[in-house]
């Protein structure tokens, strides 16, 4: 098997040497909002020096439901950052809730926005990888701006009810519709988010597998977005590793857990599953 690309979300404070020593060869740069990344030159230099493969996770405040071309100007900054670290994949959340800001959301606006973004990025040889998410995520409750390692959204779920079956199915079909019908658009498959929407993540993955360029890994019990260590929830990683291997997908696999210790354990767990296949 060729090299498996494994990584984590990072911030300016991340110790890249430590990541490298623990066998990670990829990083995902993540900032929550404000149309900016506050990564300093030193960390960007270290990403290059250490030969890390990189992915950029775009901030959540790009609103695909809004007809506002001003948002698109910000892509110049993301392109500049991507070039600095030789990154050719940008990850963007789909945010496909059915009632967006209390109005029925219009998928045609989302499609048009995606087409415009894909066109801008195409000229720079950068691919947009739309991430499947779970419905109604209220990002106000995500506290940490740069480190997904410290991510805790439990308070959000205490205030909100669990999704009904139709909402879940609608979210999946909207996502697949976009991935299949927007020319030049690719996918980031988030396994944990998928597990909240469907009991069969492998079947979901199968429907878009030719478009998936990045995989996000974490576990849950199919109810809420717990970001548990792999093996601690209900996801069948034997089956999923099998599917990845069958489709020759070798990464990037980005591990999204709440602590570095959990991330290390998750990586070990998943690599073992891959090797067993
Ligand atoms: Zn994710």
Q: d(Cα 171, Cα 95) in Å, to the nearest integer? A: 9
∠ CA 103-107-113, rounded to 5°: 110
Mean pLDDT of the chain: 85
DSSP state, residue 219: B
∠ CA 245-251-256, rounded to 5°: 110
Distance 57 CA to ligand 1 centre (A): 9
Residue 21 lies in a domain: yes
Q: Considering the entire predicted model, what is its pTM? A: 0.88
pLDDT given for residue 264 in this prediction: 94
113: pLDDT strictly greater than 80: yes
Q: d(Cα 182, Cα 178) in Å, to the nearest integer? A: 6
Residue 54 lies in a domain: yes
CATH classification at residue 226: 3.20.20.150
C-alpha torsion sign, points 271, 154, 8, 250: positive
Distance 228 CA to ligand 1 centre (A): 12
Residue 1 lies in a domain: no
Distance 275 CA to ligand 1 centre (A): 24
Which residue range(s) make up the domain with 127? Answer: 6-276
Residue 208 lies in a domain: yes
The answer to whether 100 and 66 are in contact (CB under 8 A) is no
Residue 43 lies in a domain: yes
Instruction: Express each pLDDT in 209-223 by its tens digit.
Output: 999 999 999 999 887
Distance 256 CA to ligand 1 centre (A): 7
Residue 31 lies in a domain: yes
Instruction: Express each pLDDT in 237-253 by its tens digit.
Output: 999 999 999 999 999 99
Distance 192 CA to ligand 1 centre (A): 8
Residue 186 lies in a domain: yes
Residues in the chain: 277
Domain count, the chain: 1
């Amino acid at each position: 098997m060729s090299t498996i690309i494994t990584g984590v979300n990072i911030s300016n404070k991340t110790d890249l040497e430590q990541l490298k020593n623990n066998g990670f060869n990829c990083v995902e740069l993540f900032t929550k909002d404000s149309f900016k990344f506050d990564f300093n030159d030193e960390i960007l230099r270290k990403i290059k020096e250490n030969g890390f493969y990189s992915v950029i996770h775009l901030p959540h405040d790009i609103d695909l439901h809004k007809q506002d071309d001003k948002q698109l100007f910000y892509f110049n900054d993301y392109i500049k950052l991507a070039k600095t670290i030789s990154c050719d994949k940008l990850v963007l959340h789909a945010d496909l809730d059915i009632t967006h800001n209390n109005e029925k959301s219009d998928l045609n606006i989302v499609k048009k926005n995606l087409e415009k973004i894909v066109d801008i990025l195409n000229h720079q040889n950068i691919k947009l990888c739309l991430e499947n998410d779970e419905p109604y995520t209220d990002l106000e409750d995500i506290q940490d701006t740069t480190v997904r390692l410290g991510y805790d959204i439990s308070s959000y779920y205490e205030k909100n009810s669990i999704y009904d079956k139709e909402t879940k199915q609608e979210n999946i079909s909207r996502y697949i519709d976009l991935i299949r019908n927007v020319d030049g658009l690719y996918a980031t498959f988030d396994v944990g988010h998928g597990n909240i929407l469907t009991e069969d993540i492998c079947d979901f993955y199968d429907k878009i597998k030719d478009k998936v360029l990045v995989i996000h890994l974490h576990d849950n019990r199919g109810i809420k977005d717990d970001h548990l260590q792999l093996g601690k929830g209900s996801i069948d990683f034997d089956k999923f590793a099998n599917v990845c291997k069958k489709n020759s997908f070798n990464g990037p696999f980005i591990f999204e857990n709440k602590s570095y210790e959990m991330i290390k354990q998750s990586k070990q767990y998943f690599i073992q599953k891959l090797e067993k296949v």
